[in-house]
Homo-oligomer: A and B are copies of this chain.
Amino acid sequence: MNAAEKVTSPHAADVLRELHAYRAAEEAMRRRTRNSMKMGENDLAALRFLLRAQGQGRVVTPGMLADHLGMKSASVTVMLDRLTKSGHLTRGAHPTDRRSIAVSATSGSDDEVRATLGEMHRRMLGVASHLDQDGSEIVRRFLLDLATAADGVATA
């Protein structure tokens, strides 16, 4: 038995505290954004998904949004009604499948999202850039282990 297994480092708790503080800060920031845009969680996630896909020239259908957000297609329909009414997106004809529909974000919505989440992403990229090669390797390993730990927790 080596020391790392048996004794929890005195710094471990500090690291978790810092992790928790970060999560709280990010969550608060997302809530501010949602309040500012007067939207729910899924509405904003849908817009982000849409803008990212649009940036890669991919067509987005309501069904794809349902899969990505984990909601039923009927709920997506209502969400699209909502976001269309608020001027954030439009429904268009699907290029190949006439049963389906092509959803696209309006330019205004694009600007609005970029102004907040884009800024956030830039800042985070800046933070990550300050890591040297060893540092980024350590952080990546840490995050990977955390994700693995979360995945491994049984639902009981």
Residues of A within 8 A of B (CB): 4, 7-9, 11-16, 18-19, 21-22, 24-26, 28-29, 32-33, 35-36, 115-116, 119-121, 123-133, 135-140, 142-156
Contact = CB atoms under 8 A, between A and B. Distances in A.
21 contacts: A4-B130, A8-B125, A8-B126, A12-B136, A13-B128, A14-B140, A15-B139, A21-B143, A21-B147, A22-B144, A24-B147, A29-B150, A32-B155, A33-B153, A36-B155, A116-B155, A120-B153, A123-B149, A124-B149, A127-B146, A127-B149
Given A9-B128, A22-B143, A29-B151, 20 more contacts: A11-B128, A11-B133, A11-B140, A12-B131, A14-B136, A15-B131, A16-B125, A18-B139, A21-B143, A21-B147, A22-B144, A22-B146, A25-B147, A25-B150, A36-B156, A116-B156, A123-B152, A123-B153, A127-B146, A130-B145
A145 B123 CA distance: 9
